[in-house]
């Protein structure tokens, strides 16, 4: 990514973030029954969607890595998994904050909550498995296998927990008021931009780290 494109993206995300904050806290009307607590929905839903997008990127990156064996795909998958886990953590934090006043409980073993929790565990394992491997390439291979298996499992997990319990507010998005829908869309755009920005930084750091390791090895060879 060129410097100019990066600055553009940075400025774009900044403007979107400010706009989203304005829309969420000032523009959007308070919800009739739930009141102000409903505003957390504008964070919760985009976070969940982007987390899911991030895990889809992990899936694609994992397949491409096992196929092509180019470390850039592994870097892509790993970076996306890290961001996905952070976003899922935020989903699991914002959910209960909303649920406590509305449902009366912090946590319910309800399909979407349970699925998110299973996803969180799966991708935490994805991040962990690397540190157990004795070599870097082995860790990358193992992680890629988990990135594929974990994502394939998502629909089955969802199906099974859905059959098991149901309580989450279903498809709120369809009957949203116009101003609320706009707020949600801008918030979603802001989080998407944030995801792209974080991905860019995370991948560049990984590239640099790889370069440093390479140079260090080179130096050691020269000295030794």
Partner 1 sequence: MNKALAILGKDVLSELRSKEIVVSILFFALLVIVVFNFAFDPGEDTVKLVAPGVLWVAFTFAGVLGLNRTFAVEKEKGCLEGLMLCPVDRAIIYWGKMAVSFIFMLAVEAVITPIFLLLFDLPLFVPELALIAVLATVGFVSVGTLFSALAASTRSRDILLPILFFPIVIPVIISAVEATQVAFDGKAFSDMVSWLGIMGAFDAVFLVVSTLVFEFVIEE
Binding residues for partner 1 (CB under 8 A) = 66, 118, 121-122, 125, 128-129, 132-134, 138, 141-142, 144-146, 148-150, 152-153, 156-157, 159-161, 163-164
Q: Which is nearer to partner 1, 37 or 63 (CB)?
A: 63
Q: Which is nearer to partner 1, 153 or 166 (CB)?
A: 153
Q: Which is nearer to partner 1, 25 or 164 (CB)?
A: 164
Minimum CB distance to partner 1, residue 183 (Å): 34
- How far apart CA 40 and CA 147 sit, in angstroms, is 30
Minimum CB distance to partner 1, residue 153 (Å): 5
Q: Which is nearer to partner 1, 144 or 198 (CB)?
A: 144
Give the Cα-Cα-Cα angle 44, 47, 51 (nearest 5 degrees).
140
Q: How far is CA 61 from CA 47, 57, 174, in A?
A: 21, 6, 32
Which one, of 172, 182, 206, lies nearest residue 24 by Cα? 182
Read off the tokens for 87: 């976003």
- How far apart CA 16 and CA 21 sit, in angstroms, is 9
CA torsion sign, 99 to 81 to 124 to 59? positive
Q: Which is nearer to partner 1, 142 or 200 (CB)?
A: 142
Minimum CB distance to partner 1, residue 150 (Å): 7
Minimum CB distance to partner 1, residue 53 (Å): 20
Minimum CB distance to partner 1, residue 163 (Å): 6
Read off the tokens for 10: 């940075």
């Amino acid at each position: 990514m060129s410097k100019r494109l990066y600055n553009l993206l940075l400025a774009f995300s900044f403007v979107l973030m400010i706009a989203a904050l304005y829309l969420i806290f000032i523009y959007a009307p308070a919800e009739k029954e739930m009141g102000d607590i409903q505003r957390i929905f504008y964070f919760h839903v985009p976070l969940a969607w982007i987390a899911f997008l991030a895990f889809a990127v992990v899936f694609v990156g994992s397949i491409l890595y096992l196929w092509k064996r180019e470390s850039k795909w592994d870097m892509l998958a790993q970076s996306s998994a890290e961001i996905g886990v952070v976003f899922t953590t935020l989903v699991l934090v914002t959910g209960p904050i909303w649920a406590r006043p509305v449902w009366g409980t912090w946590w319910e073993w309800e399909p979407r909550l349970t699925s998110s929790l299973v996803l969180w565990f799966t991708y935490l394992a994805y991040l962990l498995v690397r540190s157990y491997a004795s070599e870097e390439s082995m860790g990358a291979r193992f992680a890629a296998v988990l990135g594929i298996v974990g994502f394939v499992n998502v629909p089955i997990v969802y199906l099974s927990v859905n059959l098991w319990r149901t309580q989450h507010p279903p498809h709120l998005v369809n009957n949203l008021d116009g101003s609320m829908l706009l707020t949600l869309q801008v918030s979603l755009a802001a989080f998407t931009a944030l995801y792209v920005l974080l991905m860019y930084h995370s991948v560049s750091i990984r590239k640099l780290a790889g370069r440093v390791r390479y140079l260090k090895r080179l130096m050691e060879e020269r000295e030794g």
